[in-house]
Structure 1
Amino acid sequence: MNKAVPMRLAQITDCHLQADPEARARAGFPLRQLEAVVAAVNRERPTLVLITGDISQDETAASYRLAEQALTRLESPWYWLPGNHDQPALMAECRELHDELDLGTWRALLLDTHVSGQPHGELGEEALNRLAERLAADSRPTLLVMHHPPLPVGSAWLDEIGLADGEAFWRVVAPHRQVRAVLFGHIHQAFHGVQVLADREVSAYGCPSTTDQFLPGSSTFALDAASRPGYRLIELSDGELETWVVRVDP
């Protein structure tokens, strides 16, 4: 019997665009870097693309219009969710915010961890209760997708602004064995961590930014000058997941 062809997803994150298309970041030009990542992702021919927050840096309507123009060049359907630098209402004016994606034998739940005016993330009691209901209602293999990391990433300054209710999040996830992995942004670096639960382990994956990269393991803010923008690829098949990071020369 032939094995099913894997479904390929791509993750793009932390674009940090400004209203000015020529605006600089600390290590380059965010719009040009995003355009280079979009071109590289198109060559991968993913089924769909997930953009996991911090689309904007200056939280302006113009920055989201720039993002939409760049992301519309993707040759696959794409979906975004807000990060701590974002304004969800302005995002929704440009393009609908989805909270669930039907991936056939899989599904993805997109979780909003944005807290207005704060760098850290939080789901809150209502969203956690809703997540528990959604997980109980469907046993298909599931990806959870968010902006903030739900576990420590080994950088003190980033761990202070991760998911504030991470422990509560994992208590909700624990009874639901169909949760295969968590994808997140925020940390501007490749990362793989494991959350140990009573009966299993769940992997959590961070992704490089399309612009500046943060130095892994740094106790205070520091750029990783040796790293390049990038994206993550995820292949799903037969309940299994394989994932890796690709870097891009902007």
Structure 2
Amino acid sequence: MIRLVQISDCHLHADPWARSRAGFPLRQLEAVIEAARGARPDVVLVTGDVSQDETAASYRLAEQALSRLESPWFWLGGNHDQPALMADVRALHEEVDLNGWRLLLADTSVKGQAHGELGEKRLARLAERLGADERPTLLAMHHPPVAVGSAWLDQIGLHDREALWQTLAPFPQLKLILCGHIHQAFHARHALPGGDVTIYGCPSTTDQFLPGAEDFAVDEASRPGYRIVELQRGEWLTWVERVDL
């Protein structure tokens, strides 16, 4: 069995004492990391929006905090991130071997925009990678590939999601998609010819968004958290853990 922990949407600033709407992003990230360490993950995945102010210093703070983990960790960029600055601090990977499973990481960011797109070249590259291995596969991206039921979030979701699903249709080994961006626990299913693909969203380590809101709203009653995914023999079990501050 492989135990994967997903962390998402840290929104760090160069200033370690900077505030978010509902707290202190660095302190909250550190609390989530400490809790995640106790879950004894085999691997940790950070699904984007690591930075809020897109500074090199914010990524160094993230790297220092995440390096307290006692397991390998990998990250991908979101709409608030600068991939070149991230790569200067720690490499960006396209794929991680999880023994009986594969983890593929896809970049959905569009420079200067809040929404996501993969585009023809990234979709072609994703199809190439999927076609190279028939093991059960987990795909990670920042933007959700389905509507989440909040009008304002759905406007800045993955704009070419229909093209993504067409690309994924020939590959029944794709079982799961993990996304960030939405700052809330979420799950949905999308039917493909080879079987359903299950999509999971993750709480943010900082502010939580109110599910189902038509306009932007912070869920002040919720807490930061992370997702655990246990992978074994083509099957999985997943749940969200919340962190007291």
- Does the 8 Å contact 2:170/2:193 carry over to 1? no
Does residue 134 of structure 2 align to residue 162 of structure 1? no
- Name the counterpart of 1:175: 170
- Distance in 2, Cα, partners of 1:198 & 1:111: 22
- Distance in 2, Cα, partners of 1:198 & 1:48: 30
- Name the counterpart of 2:64: 69
What SS class does the counterpart of residue 36 from structure 1 fall into?
helix
- Name the counterpart of 2:45: 50
Q: How does 1:13-162 map to 2 (within 5 A)?
A: 13-162=8-157
In the alignment, structure 1 segments of 5+ residues that lack a partner are: 1-5
What amino acid sits opposite 1:99 in the alignment? E
Does residue 225 of structure 2 align to residue 230 of structure 1? yes
Structure 1 position 199, deviation (Å) = 4.6
- Does the 8 Å contact 2:49/2:181 carry over to 1? yes
- The number of residues matched between the two structures is 245
- Where in structure 1 do 4 or more consecutive aligned residues deviate above 4 Å? none
TM-score in terms of structure 2 length: 0.99
In the alignment, structure 2 segments of 5+ residues that lack a partner are: none
Structure 1 position 198, deviation (Å) = 3.5
- Distance in 2, Cα, partners of 1:193 & 1:209: 18
- Does the 8 Å contact 2:175/2:196 carry over to 1? no
- Distance in 2, Cα, partners of 1:149 & 1:91: 21
RMSD, aligned α-carbons: 0.7
- Distance in 2, Cα, partners of 1:76 & 1:187: 26
- Does the 8 Å contact 2:51/2:80 carry over to 1? yes
- Does the 8 Å contact 1:180/1:241 carry over to 2? no
What SS class does the counterpart of residue 241 from structure 1 fall into?
strand
TM-score in terms of structure 1 length: 0.97
What amino acid sits opposite 2:176 in the alignment? A
Superposed CA deviations along residues 183-206 of structure 1, whole A, max 9, x for unmatched, are: 000000000011122452111000
What amino acid sits opposite 1:163 in the alignment? L
- Does the 8 Å contact 2:170/2:194 carry over to 1? no
Structure 1 position 241, deviation (Å) = 1.1
- Distance in 2, Cα, partners of 1:43 & 1:77: 15
Structure 1 position 160, deviation (Å) = 0.5
- Does the 8 Å contact 1:84/1:114 carry over to 2? yes
Superposed CA deviations along residues 105-158 of structure 1, whole A, max 9, x for unmatched, are: 110000011111000011110110111111111000000000000010010100
- Does the 8 Å contact 1:115/1:122 carry over to 2? yes
Identity %: 69
